[in-house]
Amino acid sequence: MSIGPREISVPFRPIPLDVPEGMKPNEFFNSPENLADLTNNNGLLTNAEDLLLYRKALGHSNEFDCSIIYNTSQSILNPLGRPVRRTQLPNNVRKVWNRMNQIVIAFMLEHYPDPEKHLILAGEASLDSTWPITSPGVPSIRMLHNHFIVFDKQQLKDAKVADTDNPNLTDGGQHSLFAAYMQDVYVEFLSSLDLKILRPIIGEASGLSLTGYPQGLPSWEINGGIDSLKNIDFWKEYDLVLKGFLDFYRTFFAQVSSRNSGVPDNAYFPKEIEKTLLFNNCFLSAAKKVRDQCIADARYATSIRWQPAFKQLIYRDDQGRLVVTISQNSIGNAITELLGVVVKRTPDAKGYEKSEPALIEKLLKLRSRLVEADLGHGIKTKYWDK
């Protein structure tokens, strides 16, 4: 069996939405009107903190696929002014958000206990205003949301090997630059984080045997597995990983933009940046290479995400361990591609409807569990009752 990223085809039922004339689809998807449709046609549960659990109409997997979104569409009309990552959440919302995440992940592990049969992942991708809202690759809904996905590993084994040059598996050349010049300093910088539950995994040990992904990215095993996700200290450490990532890439792109720019004003770890990054020749040399290319190549310069874009995952590896990893986001890619799964969505209502009853049954069971934990109340749609 060949090792490499896989491309699968996932049927979906076309969404009955008419985008108003003169609007681009992702402009409409960020409108309050569209978010009302998301709730009314696909919403499963909502709560007083404006967290919405919903079925993914354009899903990654028809085995199990849902999201939780921080639905601020009615309270913050400016799409670029909405919270787009956990570190921007109010404390009361973050607490409920973490509890919901823990329950959904536990539900997936309970219903899919065998790591040889199913790939389980949960995570978020950056929705920062890193590009103009109408640019290709900009997220279709600019609000913080997590993905919860299960893939049948037999389907992945039977799928064709994806082209490794697929734009969704690359990052415009920045990953190769990172691997060549900055990997050691990145690991050194992240090792300064005060982590007790998250234990570093060295080298390729966290990679999936089927796809080979994630490819040597910094990864951490969750000591204690699912039980640790019930500990608020785990979620604090999960946020530390994100904060460390943001500091690293903010510092890097600040150096690309302005030579010798110093510690960013909004840094979480200013002492570590000064000590580890701004006195590291490889780090500063890599920034110079990107800066020089931006000056000489207009096309390359417009492809840069000047604010850090990321994907952060909790996934189950081949040994059954729960693993955390984080990556610089690539150009136009989806959360699944961090693990080497490329999803080709195919409009096929009949194909989707074959999987729909079993999918909805599991999602409604999950909803009941969240209601029992006092994390929200059910939503009635034309597909299910309240």
Does residue 118 contact residue 112 with C-beta atoms inside 8 Å? Answer: yes
pLDDT for position 176:
59
Structure tokens at 353: 């409807």
Please give the helix or strand (H or E) that residue 312 lies within, else none: strand 310-316
pLDDT confidence of 273, banded at 50, 70, 90? very high
Structure tokens at 245: 């990532």
Question: Range with the lowest mean pLDDT among 1-15, 120-134, 197-211, 275-289?
Answer: 120-134
Q: Is the pLDDT of residue 133 over 70?
A: no
pLDDT for position 170:
61
SS3 342: strand
Q: Is the pLDDT of residue 20 over 90?
A: no
DSSP string, 51-73: EEEEE-TT-S-SSEEEEEEE--T
Q: Is the pLDDT of residue 7 over 60?
A: yes
The one-character DSSP state at 50 is -
Q: What is the mean pLDDT of residues 317-344?
A: 85
Q: What is the mean pLDDT of residues 25-48?
A: 83
- 232 Cβ partners below 8 Å, 6+ apart? 95, 98
Q: What is the C-alpha to C-alpha distance for residues 102 and 359, in angstroms, rounded to an integer? A: 20
Q: What is the mean pLDDT of residues 253-278?
A: 95
**In terms of DSSP bridges, do strands 341-347 and 160-161 run parallel, antiparallel, or are they unpaired?**
unpaired
pLDDT for position 208:
93
pLDDT confidence of 175, banded at 50, 70, 90? low
Domain ranges of the chain: 1-166+330-379, 171-210+224-308
Q: What is the C-alpha to C-alpha distance for residues 382 and 154, in angstroms, rounded to an integer? A: 33
Report which of residues 9 and 129 the model is more confident about. Answer: 9
Q: Is the pLDDT of residue 17 over 80?
A: no
Question: Range with the lowest mean pLDDT among 4-18, 51-65, 171-185?
Answer: 171-185
List residues bridging with 230 in a β-sheet: none
Q: What is the mean pLDDT of residues 258-285?
A: 95
- 82 Cβ partners below 8 Å, 6+ apart? 70, 72, 73, 76, 142, 143, 144
Nearest to 123 by CA among 101, 107, 106, 138: 101
Of 68-77, 81-90, 116-125, 210-219, where does the model show the most confidence? 116-125
Nearest to 352 by CA among 11, 9, 56: 11
Q: What is the C-alpha to C-alpha distance for residues 75 and 35, in angstroms, rounded to an integer? A: 12
Q: What is the C-alpha to C-alpha distance for residues 342 and 320, in angstroms, rounded to an integer? A: 22
Q: What is the C-alpha to C-alpha distance for residues 232 and 236, in angstroms, rounded to an integer? A: 6
Q: What is the mean pLDDT of residues 336-341?
A: 90
Give all strands of the β-sheet with 198-201 in edge-to-edge order: 198-201, 219-222, 322-328, 310-316, 118-125, 145-152, 64-70, 51-55, 43-46, 377-378
Q: Is the pLDDT of residue 179 over 70?
A: no
Tell me the CA end-to-end span of the chain in Å, nearest whole number.
46
Mean pLDDT of the chain: 88
pLDDT confidence of 376, banded at 50, 70, 90? very high
pLDDT confidence of 177, banded at 50, 70, 90? low
Q: What is the C-alpha to C-alpha distance for residues 219 and 338, in angstroms, rounded to an integer? A: 12
Q: What is the mean pLDDT of residues 89-113?
A: 97
Q: What is the pLDDT of residues 136-174, one digit of tens each?
A: 556 667 789 999 999 999 999 999 999 877 766 765 555
List residues bridging with 120 in a β-sheet: 150
Does residue 222 contact residue 321 with C-beta atoms inside 8 Å? Answer: yes
pLDDT for position 137:
56
Task: Enumerate long-range contacts of 81-84, CB under 8 Å, 24 or more apart.
Answer: 82/142, 82/143, 82/144, 83/143, 83/144, 84/126, 84/127, 84/128, 84/129, 84/142, 84/143, 84/144
| Whole-structure pTM value | 0.92
- 164 Cβ partners below 8 Å, 6+ apart? 4, 5
* Domain 1-166+330-379 part of CATH 3.30.428: yes
pLDDT for position 141:
72
pLDDT for position 161:
92
